[in-house]
Chains A and B, each alone.
Chain A
Amino acid sequence: MKQLVLTLVTAFCIISVQAQDAQICKDVNIRFFSEAPLENIEATTKKGVAAIRPADNSLYFEVPIESFDFEKDLMEEHFNENYMESNTFPTAKFNGTFTSDIDWGTPGEYDASVKGTMNIHGVDKEMNDSGKLIIGEDGNITINSVFKVKLVDHDIDIPKIVIKNIAEVVEVTVNGTFAPSK
């Protein structure tokens, strides 16, 4: 009998851990910015998608490259056709885990750090970055992060003729509010 209770408790524990199901965000805001001598380059999208699973501290982001909106349409076309080759590499993704301690059950603001693989332009790069993670009263997660991406890390090739136009490091800002997936 004692064993039966123990079994049920164990089972219940597994259930309760799993009950902290993945949360997803369907409209992650991503902005990138680079300051360059001739003109600043800036683009935004609200079409990123992301998921966080507290159970194993995992985190995943993916964004369609073509969804980035530029002030100048020609710049947008160059971005897609020449630099990102979005036809061949339609999305950028990040697959990682939280490395800082986050008490998923307790609302509050956390300094979060993540570790994982960033895939841009089809090229993987290991990354460690940090940001803010907020767990709301309703348990929903919000994240804000600013990090830097080096173009050379992802084999993004810039011709010498326009090199002055484009910074070699871009600053990426990511914001998203998550909700349970079902």
Chain B
Amino acid sequence: MKRIHLNVLLLFICAFPFLSTAQPDLADLLKGELDKNINPYVSATFKTTRLTHTHTIEMVKKNELDFRITHRFFDIAGDQGGIETLFGFDNVSDIRIAFEYGITDDIGIGFGRSKGGFEIGPKQVLDGYLKAKLLKQKKKGGLPFSIVALGMTELGTETKSENVTQINSFPEFKHRLSYAGQLIIASKISESLSLMVMPTYLHRNYVTFGDENSNFALGAGGRIKFTKRMAIIVDYFHLFSEYRNLENAKEPEDNIKYYNPLGIGLEIETGGHVFHLNFSNSTGIIETQYIPYTTRNWLDGQFRFGFNISRVFDLGGGKH
């Protein structure tokens, strides 16, 4: 009897290391490997590379060419809008045609041409930008936001004016150039809410009398999804400019007044495309235009309808 007990004990001792691990959960066995295969970074903070005006932290993907047309009509209401102009559809305040390309998933370049300064500011402008994703928001733990750096240059190509008070008098070639440097700091707060702030430095080599060559601007923007496929997008820039404060305080009323650009849009996603239907008081499309040269006022009905068309071509010959 005693021996049987001993034997049973012996059996357990021999088999114990195996019995105890006999049925480990296969899922647990794979946990480590699975974690390695899961992308640690947050994706799709925004749907496209732009909100209504501003760049987002989204990039054109590697080897993809984004052919992009951005269109802004004229004032919907106010003294130049209304039914006579079919709520601004008779006029184009700006249009930009551009090619934007992803060198890698985190570095992109773009070249565009736009009509430029509807009221003031250089016209017939070429622009180029370099955009780089510096830091990426992580899903859990780690960095709670992403940072993208953007540098852009504008070149005014219109014929030089003989009137030296004009912004297009361009004494030297360098006076045709303007620059903007921007950090875009964005966070996907939840599936339906993404926010960003954009500290921006502007430098224009040639400005009208009294205006500053260099300014800081602070932008903010966001997206609120209210269904899986529809979102409200908003962006705004505040330009710090003593000159503009003084000009705006001046009488008479018919002087040019400056406003901060505010864009509000509806983002609609269908099976294969993202549509933006925007309303904005700014007439310009590129940073060196819409930040310093917005002279239309929402409260006077001087906002316009705009849209973006984007067609992406894969130049990589299949998947990277």
Chain A interface (Cβ within 8 Å of chain B)? 3-4, 6-8, 10-12, 14-15, 18, 22, 24, 26, 47-51, 53, 55-56, 58-60, 62, 64, 66-67, 69, 71-75, 77-78, 80-82, 87-88, 90-91, 93, 95, 159, 161-162, 165-166, 181
Contacts and interface: CB of A to CB of B under 8 A. Distances in A.
B10 A24 contact: no
A49 B21 CA distance: 21
A181 B24 CA distance: 12
Contact of B37 (A6, A18, A49, A82): A49
Contacts of A11: 10-11, 14-15
B229 A82 contact: yes
Nearest to B64: A73
A60 B26 contact: yes
B312 interface: yes
A7 B7 contact: yes
Contacts of A15: 14-15, 18
A96 B27 CA distance: 11
Contact of A95 (B27, B33, B228, B270): B27
Q: Is the interface of B mostly helix, strand, loop or mixed?
A: mixed
Given A74-B272, A80-B44, A161-B271, A66 B39 contact: yes
A22 B319 contact: no
A49 B30 contact: yes
B4 interface: yes
Contacts of A166: 271
Contacts of A67: 37-39
Interface in B156-170: none
B270 A162 contact: yes
A97 B213 CA distance: 72
Contacts of B15: 11, 14-15
A153 to B, nearest CB: 20
A171 to B, nearest CB: 20
B274 interface: yes
Contact of B272 (A14, A62, A75, A95): A75
Closest 8 CB pairs of A and B: A162-B271, A11-B14, A60-B26, A47-B37, A18-B18, A7-B7, A51-B26, A49-B30
B252 interface: no
Contact of A62 (B10, B30, B314): B30
Contact of B270 (A59, A64, A161): A161
Interface residues of B, number: 42
Contacts of A90: 38
B315 to A, nearest CB: 13
A22 B10 CA distance: 26
Given A24-B33, A66-B39, A71 B314 contact: yes
Given A60-B26, A62-B34, A8 B14 contact: yes
A82 B33 CA distance: 27
Given A49-B34, A50-B30, A74 B43 contact: no
Contacts of B3: 3-4
Contact of B26 (A8, A53, A74, A161): A53
Interface in B262-311: 269-274
Contact of B19 (A14, A22, A60, A71): A14
B38 A77 contact: no
A122 to B, nearest CB: 15
B184 to A, nearest CB: 19
B246 interface: no
Contact of B274 (A59, A74, A95): A74
B22 interface: yes
B255 interface: no
Contacts of A75: 272
B142 interface: no
Q: Max chain A CB contacts within 10 Å: which of B27, B37, B269, B312?
A: B37
B191 interface: yes
Contact of B38 (A22, A66, A181): A66
Given A22-B26, A24-B29, A26-B36, 4 more contacts: A18-B18, A48-B37, A78-B269, A78-B271
Contacts of A53: 26
B11, B47, B314 pick with most chain A CB within 10 angstroms: B11
A82 B10 contact: no
Nearest to B320: A69
Nearest to B27: A60
Contacts of B18: 14-15, 18
B318 interface: yes
A82 B228 contact: yes
Nearest to A90: B38
